[in-house]
Structure 1
Amino acid sequence: MNRNNSSCKQLVLASALSALTLTAAAQNDNIVYKDSNVRFTLVTDGTVRMEYAPDGKFLDNKSFIAVNRSYPEVKYKKSETAKKVVISTDYLTLTYTKGSCPLTERNLSIVSAKTKKKPTDGKRIIPFAWHPGQKDAPGANLKGTYRTLDGYDGDSRGDTGKMPIEDGLLSRSGWTLIDDSEGYVFDNSDWQWVAHRPNEGKTQDMYFLAYGNDYKKALHDFTVFAGKEPLPPRYAFGYWWSRYWCYSDNELRQLVSKMHSYSIPMDVLVVDMDWHYTEEGRGGWTGYTWNKRLFPS
């Protein structure tokens, strides 16, 4: 009986150790190079995470940008000497000079992979050469979004010039850098609390995406570490009516009736703001008191 109990305990202990080993591997998989201050992790064959930590305490917590830390297996080649390490995939070649951190243009570079294969799907690797601190070519970024369209006619607003749209994920240069060095991170309590980064303000945490003109790959690779967005609800793709106008209840009924008469499937009707009082002292841009003149009931 004692021997059986001992065997059971050993099996349980072995199972627990195995689980811990798998957990640790899941947190640190695809690490292709690591020394006392620098760590490189392949997220995909076109995306590499590059970290510098002055005390060697690398971040495995999830950040607001990077919610995934476990990645699928990536095929790569690595050559290493006493001074340098070279990591190559089908999309990029990273070269790092050892013992010369933090990461700068003097010790780190990434160039497009050399390939003799002719693309059959129209996608190709755009030649590039990048180093830390390098900016994208002017006009190359395909841009992202802006907080409001109010007051704009197309992408212009009166005499103020073009809309200052921020840079987006895609670029005609064939590469994108996402710097998460100062981004917020979570602690390890089920995503409930924001935590400080180790050596806050002194570390580097960057993601380099190489994709050529395969923009779908760029979007896919981003989701591997940033997570996937849920699909919007079906009604969000339908017709929305919103007009900054002082509608009354009967006018809205007439509007909806006219939509039906023309067989226009209106999914969302926005009553902008005059449903509540907007007079000075009674409302303005806020308030929840219905305007009885427009909506008696």
Structure 2
Amino acid sequence: MKNLFLFLILSVLTGGKNYTQAASSRDAIVYQEKDVRFTMLAEGVVRMEWSPSGQFVDAPSFVVVERNLPVPEYKVHHKGEWVLIETAKMEVKYKKHSGKFTSDNLMIKAVNGLKPFCWKPGMQQKDNLKGTFRTLDGYDGNYSTYKNQEMPLEDGLLARDGWTLIDDSADFLFDDSDWPWVKKRGAGEGQDWYFMAYGNDYKGALKDFTLFAGKVPLPTRYAFGYWWSRYWSYSDK
């Protein structure tokens, strides 16, 4: 029963799609060392990996299910001990052979009129647009009548800061079996980050997110059952 329940949950999470162990596009790997790899997924999305073992992850994860993507336009420049990766939306600057990503060896800034920002590891968003909340029980609007406080929404994908960092370092992976199943990452496998630069283009950011996270399935209307209200009549439209 437990295995059946897990199977159903995974089917919902993956939208029923059979994801394969597809390797990342070699052309999209814009810079690589023995323990560091940068992959450009879109003009506003870069994947940054640091692996102390030198083993990089190409298997799909719970968050990132699409690995083979069209290669966006980019330029790579080498300036002394630094490598610069440029797209139409951002400039990534990394100090060569410096290992683990820190505020001293990695920086990303907006370019070409995108809402200005200059990001370094460790920086926190200041104006996240927030995401979801588990339940509305006991809430009057956004205020809890039980706890006497406003609803503490989780951080969401988008922010007025103009950038988002997704840390996929510890998320589960899918294996390469006939029906891909979950597996844990090895302990201490480093950093696996996805940086999104979008400025005020929130719609474009959502589109970029679905490129690597997969399309979001829309449930059919009848799946929600009957809609009703004890106060007034209304339809599902």
Query: What TM-score do you get using the length of structure 2 for normalisation?
Result: 0.83
Match of 1:72 among 70, 73, 76: 70
Q: Which has the larger radius of gyration?
A: 1
Counting strand residues as a fraction of each chain, which structure ranks higher?
A: 2
Give the partner amino acid of 1:84.
Answer: W
Structure 2 CA distance for partners of 1:105 and 1:191, relative to 1, 3 Å = farther
The SS at the match of 1:221 is helix
Bigger relative contact order, structure 1 or 2 (CA pairs below 8 A, ≥6 apart): 2
Identify the residue that residue 139 of structure 2 maps to in structure 1.
Answer: 152
CA drift of 1:162 comes to 1.4
Q: 2:56 — aligned with what?
A: 58
Whole-angstrom CA distance in 2 between matches of 1:203 and 1:129: 23
Task: Tell me the residue number matched to 2:121.
Answer: 132
CA–CA separation in structure 1 for the residues paired with 2:108 and 2:185 = 26
1:202/1:24 CA distance change after superposition, 3 Å: closer
- 2:175 is equivalent to residue 187 of structure 1: yes
8 A Cα contact 1:29 1:70, kept in partner:
no
Per the normalisation by structure 1, the TM-score is 0.67
What residue identity is the alignment partner of 1:133? G
Distance between the aligned counterparts of 2:197 and 2:211, measured in 1?
A: 14
Q: Are residues 151 and 126 of structure 1, via their aligned partners in 2, closer, same or farther at CA, if it must alter by over 3 Å?
A: same
Aligned to 2:161: 173
> How far is the alpha carbon of 1:26 from its aligned partner?
5.4
More helix by share: 1
Amino acid of the structure 1 residue aligned with 2:168: D
> How many pairs were matched up?
216
Gaps of 5+ in 1: 1-22, 116-124, 244-254, 268-297
Match in the other structure for 2:4? none
Q: Is contact 1:37–1:52 with CA below 8 Å preserved after alignment?
A: yes
Aligned partner letter, 1:146: F
How far apart are 1:106 and its partner, in Å? 0.7
SS of the aligned residue for 2:123 comes to coil
* Match among 142, 146, 150 for residue 162 of structure 1: 150
1:71, 1:224 within 8 Å by CA — same for their partners in 2? yes
Cα shift readout 1:264-297 (whole Å, capped 9, x = no counterpart): 4469xxxxxxxxxxxxxxxxxxxxxxxxxxxxxx
Give the C-alpha shift of residue 193 in structure 1: 2.1
- In the alignment, the residues of structure 2 paired with residue 54 and residue 127 of structure 1 have an alpha-carbon distance, to the nearest angstrom, of 33
Aligned match of 1:223 in 195, 206, 210? 210
- Tell me which amino acid in the other structure corresponds to 2:67: R
**Unmatched segments (≥5 aa) in structure 2:** 1-20
Q: Within 5 A, what are the aligned runs for 1:191-206?
A: 191-198=179-186, 200-206=187-193
Contact 2:30 2:40 (8 Å CA) reproduced: yes
Choose from 15, 19, 35 the match for 1:37.
35
Percent of pairs with identical residues: 52
Partner of 2:96: 98
Structure 1 pair 187–89 and aligned structure 2 pair: CA distance change class (3 A): same
CA distance, structure 2, for counterparts of residue 65 and residue 202 of structure 1: 17
Go from structure 1 to structure 2 and tell me whether the alpha carbon gap of 1:205 and 1:190 turns closer, same or farther (over 3 Å shift).
farther
Distance 1:236 1:210, change over 3 A: farther
Q: Check if 1:86 corresponds to 2:81.
A: no
SS at 2:143 equivalent:
coil
Name the aligned partner's letter for residue 55 of structure 1: S
8 Å Cα contact 1:62-1:69 kept in structure 2: yes
> Could you tell me how far 1:73 is from its partner in structure 2?
1.9
Matching residue's letter, 2:183:
A
User: Could you say which residue in structure 1 is the equivalent of 2:10?
Assistant: none
